[in-house]
């Protein structure tokens, strides 16, 4: 396997790599030096074989008889995910959710920096949102180019989301994290990842309903 040309890596494996990284960072904070695939797997309820197979997609990072060096693996996985360099990110939508995302301190340490905020609502333009001035969507292209932004977060109402997505694509954005409860239509060259809170809740209610058959509430 040639790590510089990842050919095609299964989507589920890429998701787990993020989880390994999160876990490794926790281990590192506790000054742990090495970890085996078995230990890393147990901390996430996965098998050791799964862990080794996933890591092997990206290269040979382990040391037989020893395990993986925690800090070394962190470095390699960040490189693999592309988060060894900082990404400038823009946000569209300065409503409740958008402002909560702006205040969320979990992005910076992971290599993402929010550098611009936009909103389609004219009454919000020019207002301050945390450290950022809220810009109109007409500025998308200019700001995207000026700050080399490739990734956007969409936190607008469902009705506005597709229109916003179209404008983001037009402005040259390559990846979108979408919180609006709609399926966005974009060219294949643009990556969309959607988080629909209602969908998440429905998964839970389904599972809970199933496991409660015959049980009292």
Partner DNA sequence: GGATGTGAATGCATTCACAGCA
Partner DNA sequence: TGCTGTGAATGCATTCACATCC
Between 122 and 188, CB nearer to a copy of itself = 188
Between 123 and 205, CB nearer to a copy of itself = 205
Between 61 and 107, CB nearer to DNA = 61
Between 6 and 12, CB nearer to DNA = 12
* C-alpha–C-alpha distance, residues 8 and 106, integer Å: 29
Q: Cβ neighbours of residue 69 under 8 Å, at least 6 residues apart?
A: 33, 34, 61, 63
What DSSP letter does each residue of 133-189 carry, written as one string? EEEPGGGHHHHHHHTT--EEEE-S-HHHHHHHHHHHHHTT--EEEE-SSS-----TT
Q: At CA 66, angle to CA 60 and CA 71, rounded to 5?
A: 65
Query: Interface with DNA by CB under 7 A: which range of 54-62, 153-161, 164-172, 185-193?
Result: 54-62
| Structure tokens given for 105 | 């301190």
| Partner whose footprint covers residue 191, from DNA, a copy of itself, none (CB < 5 to 8 Å by kind) | a copy of itself
By CB under 7 A, residue 99 contacts DNA: no
By CB under 7 A, residue 151 contacts DNA: no
| Partner whose footprint covers residue 110, from DNA, a copy of itself, none (CB < 5 to 8 Å by kind) | a copy of itself
Footprint on this chain of DNA (rule: CB under 7 A):
1, 10-13, 36-38, 46-50, 52-53, 55-56, 60-68
């Amino acid at each position: 396997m040639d790590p510089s040309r990842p050919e095609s890596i299964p989507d589920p494996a890429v998701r787990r790599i993020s989880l390994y990284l999160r876990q490794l960072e926790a281990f590192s904070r506790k000054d742990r030096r090495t970890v085996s695939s078995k230990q890393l797997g147990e901390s996430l309820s996965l098998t050791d074989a799964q862990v080794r197979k996933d890591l092997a997609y990206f290269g040979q990072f382990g040391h037989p008889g020893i395990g993986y060096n925690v800090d070394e693996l962190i470095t390699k996985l960040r490189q693999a995910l592309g988060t060894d360099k900082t990404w400038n990110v823009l946000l569209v939508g300065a409503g409740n959710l958008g402002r909560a995302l702006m205040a969320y301190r979990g992005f910076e340490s992971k290599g993402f920096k929010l550098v611009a905020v936009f909103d389609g609502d004219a009454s919000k333009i020019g207002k301050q949102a945390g450290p950022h001035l809220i810009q109109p969507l007409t500025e998308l292209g200019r700001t995207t180019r000026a700050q080399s932004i490739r990734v956007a977060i969409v936190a607008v109402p469902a009705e506005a989301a597709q229109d916003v997505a179209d404008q983001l694509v037009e402005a040259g954005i390559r990846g979108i994290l979408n919180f609006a409860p709609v399926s966005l239509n974009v060219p294949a060259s643009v990556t969309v990842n959607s988080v629909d809170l209602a969908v998440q809740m429905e998964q839970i209610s389904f599972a809970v309903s199933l496991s409660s058959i015959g049980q009292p509430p």
